Amino acid sequence: MAGLMLQGTGSDVGKSVMVAGLCRALVNRGLRVLPFKPQNMSNNAAVTPEGGEIGRAQALQALAARAPLHVDMNPVLLKPQADRTSQLVVHGEVRGTLGSANFREARRTLLPEVMASYRRLEARCDLVVVEGAGSPAEINLRAGDIANMGFAREADVPVVLIGDIDRGGVIASLVGTRAVIEPEDAAQIRGFLINKFRGDPALFADGYAAIEQRSGWRGYGVLPWQSAVGRLPSEDAVVLERGLGGGSGKLLVACPILPRIANFDDLDPLRQESGVEVAMIPPGTPIPAEAALIVLPGSKATLADMAFMRAEGWDIDVLAHHRRGGMILGICGGFQMLGRTIADPLGIEGEPGEMAGLGLLDVTTVLGNRKALREVSGTALGVNLTGYEMHMGVTERDMAAPFAMLDGDRPDGAVDASGRVIGTYCHGLLASTDLRAELLARLGAASDRRDHHAEVDAALNELAAAMEEHLDIDGLLALTEYRP
């Protein structure tokens, strides 16, 4: 029974993928490993077999550890909504909302539940690999912290700090963290890792030594930039800043970046198609007229994001695309936006209200307290699909035909008479090879027919091998209580 925690000097320094890579490396050594994140803030979530939800990063880490998903892997999940509030999910179940005014006080009460989850995981494996959130240098958030040093000290797990050299300033970010945190917190940190290095590591030898000398922490290695990371699902919205694309001669898929976009890794299988280019459209930019497919993604605040679409003029772009004969796919919140109306009478995702949708599907949606969380399988477009549902709305079809028939003869989604407007509650459906191939065929493109899940697994093995080569994993294990 042992634990090791990876924290970072900031967001998007690579904590999630390094935890995943370390899990896979240790599992490949024969250890029983489980991932853990005390508190996550993300609108990208996964459904567990028991019908709960956790952050998708922890789902990837569980895959890396070759372990089934469990709500204990992410006991506290905050899902940002409109108006500076977040839906609070504890042990996989919704427990109301938190606002900026009561967030700090509320999280103090959650530490016992976080520790209970951690102890249960600890009892089931040789080593728990823990991921921090944000940075311990955010000392304005230290009081009542359960995500970084507050948890680390309560659980008495050693911490290794990750610095991202690609963004610059890695020496200052690591040494500066040592300078601003409490001495007791600094004592919990036993070392550091350098991530995303490009070029000759020998050129950084002096900088590496300077960090060790100025921080008093030991270095555990420098991980070169890993292209395999680009084949892994990402939880951080920073990846949405990938540019517009276009001009490649490939089939163009466009997806608007909504303020509360959720589960945008639904698009990852399309990104891996050699004949497809996925363009994430930022605010202030029209949806390209040359797009063959527009994907309206999931949303954590459907009414607010629908209003944002109108303010951006994206509703005009979508309707024009439809008039030109283009195809539109709406997933979850995007499905709701394609309908005639969306109502939130209880104020589930913000202020109570009702709003007209795009009117492209003959459906109406009412949001309610009950949340659908389940893995699903069935057929659509004449082929098999698998995925998962995660939504709080109930959508009624009038004259529209269902898009899919799920196991148990349960209809899902809707499709218009032309077959060019599709709405579904099935997240993850594009990972189904046959369905993705059929969708692309209807757009006049051929699929590479790669197994998306196998591609992700191979990328995890590649990342683990690189970490074995470049990092002192034996030294990291020596920090823990694990003894073979």
Angle, in degrees to the nearest 10, between helices 452-470 and 56-64: 70
Report, as an integer, the average pLDDT of 146-174.
96
In the block, which residue shows the tokens 């991202």? 164
Farthest-apart Cα atoms in the chain, separation? 71
pLDDT tier for residue 398 given thresholds of 50, 70 and 90? confident
Out of 27-31, 285-289, 407-411, pick the least confident: 407-411
- Rounded Cα distance, 234 and 427, in Å: 15
DSSP-H helix ranges across 195-255: 205-215
How do residues 185-200 score in pLDDT, each as one tens digit? 999 999 999 999 999 9
Give the torsion sign (CA, 115, 120, 121, 126): positive
Q: How many helices (H) and strands (E) does the chain have?
A: 15, 26
Contact 197, 225 (CB under 8 A): yes
User: What is the Cα 124 distance to its own chain's centre?
Assistant: 25
As given in the structure block, the two tokens for residue 411 are 């209809």
Evaluate the CA torsion angle 209, 213, 215, 216 in order and state its sign: positive
Residue 240 binned pLDDT confidence (cut-offs 50, 70, 90): low
pLDDT digits (tens, 9 = 90+) for 417-467: 999 999 999 999 999 999 999 999 999 999 999 999 999 999 999 999 999
Residue 243's pLDDT band (cuts 50, 70, 90): very low
- Provide the pLDDT for residue 235: 62
Taking the model in full, what pTM does it have?
Answer: 0.92
Tokens of 413: 């989604």
Residue 118: which pLDDT band, with cuts at 50, 70 and 90?
very high
For residues 25 and 13, give the distance between their C-alpha atoms in angstroms, rounded to a whole number. 19
Q: What is the β-pairing status of strands 276-281 and 327-331? A: unpaired
Residue 241: is its pLDDT beyond 60? no
Q: Where are the beta strands (DSSP E) in 282-357?
A: 293-296, 298-299, 327-331, 341-344, 353-356
Active site residues: 332, 427
- The pLDDT confidence band at residue 249, using thresholds 50, 70 and 90, is confident
Res. 83: pLDDT tops 90: no
**Would the CA dihedral through 289, 293, 297, 301 be positive or negative?**
positive
Reported as a pLDDT band with limits 50, 70 and 90, residue 37 is: very high
